[in-house]
A and B are shown apart, each in its own frame.
Chain A
Amino acid sequence: SQTIHQWPATLVQPVGSPLSLECTVEGTSNPNLYWYRQAAGRGLQLLFYSVGIGQISSEVPQNLSASRPQDRQFILSSKKLLLSDSGFYLCAWSLALGTDTQYFGPGTRLTVL
């Protein structure tokens, strides 16, 4: 069966510091991978998605970047965090072909102070 991992679970960072969140998927090959942010009481905002190694599409211009160095690894980064980057970050995967049903990781709660 497939599993998806995210770490860290929680993170408190000062404004201006760098960020690296990691997501890995097990039990499937060539998945589509996604990064979402969910602000308190808000919906899911798609930040990045990837259909393959090194292939990243950005949905919203922002202070963040994403990379996919391996087939089942997806990394969300920032060089300098802003207060507005606080939120709940979710990684998800879906099959390359099909109905785009997405399977989410446990999430990372990021607080920027």
Chain B
Amino acid sequence: SQKIEQNSEALNIQEGKTATLTCNYTNYSPAYLQWYRQDPGRGPVFLLLIRENEKEKRKERLKVTFDTTLKQSLFHITASQPADSATYLCALDRGATNKLIFGTGTLLAVQP
């Protein structure tokens, strides 16, 4: 079955630096991969989606890459701010209808 691996350790970076989070999957390559942000005590919020035929996707300070050979997606936040501190989840489709598999997320802490 498909498994997703995200770094369970928190990522601490200085304000203004670029944060890079990793999502690895173990089985078949999904048709698309999604990234969500979750703040404590809140539901996840959708950020970006990248399809298997796309290498890179950008939205403002966010950039996602998708390498189906490495079975890996990287999520970058440039010019990071303390307000970017949150848990970031990656999610893949299961190859069946209507369901996603979510990773456990990586906690990002941006220090002022």
Q: Closest CB-CB distance, A76 to chain B, in whole Å? A: 15
Q: Which residue of A lies closest to B31 (CB)?
A: A99
As a 0/1 sequence over residues 40 to 65 of chain B, the CB contacts with chain A under 8 angstroms (1 = contact) are: 01111110010000000000000000
Given the known inter-chain contacts A90-B43, A104-B44, please indicate yes or no for A99 contacting B103, CB distance below 8 A.
no
In the complex, are the beta carbons of A94 and B98 less than 8 A apart?
yes
Interface residues of A in 62-107 (CB under 8 A from B): 88, 90, 92, 94, 99-107
Partner pick for A49 among B34, B44, B98, B102, CB 8 A cutoff: B98
Q: Closest CB-CB distance, A37 to chain B, in whole Å? A: 12
Q: Which residue of A lies closest to B98 (CB)?
A: A32
In the complex, are the beta carbons of A105 and B99 less than 8 A apart?
no
In the complex, are the beta carbons of B42 and A106 less than 8 A apart?
yes
In the complex, are the beta carbons of B43 and A106 less than 8 A apart?
yes
Q: A49-B98, A107-B41 are in contact. List 10 more A-B contacts (CB 8 A).
A: A43-B89, A43-B105, A44-B102, A51-B97, A100-B99, A101-B49, A102-B100, A106-B43, A107-B42, A109-B41
Question: Residues of A at under 8 Å CB distance from B?
Answer: 32, 42-44, 46, 49, 51, 88, 90, 92, 94, 99-107, 109
Question: Residues of B at under 8 Å CB distance from A?
Answer: 32, 34, 41-46, 49, 89, 91, 93, 97-100, 102-105
| 23 A-B pairs whose Cβ atoms sit less than 8 Å apart in the complex | A43-B89, A43-B102, A43-B103, A43-B104, A43-B105, A44-B102, A51-B98, A88-B41, A90-B43, A90-B44, A92-B43, A99-B32, A100-B99, A100-B100, A101-B46, A102-B46, A102-B91, A102-B100, A103-B46, A106-B43, A107-B42, A107-B43, A109-B41
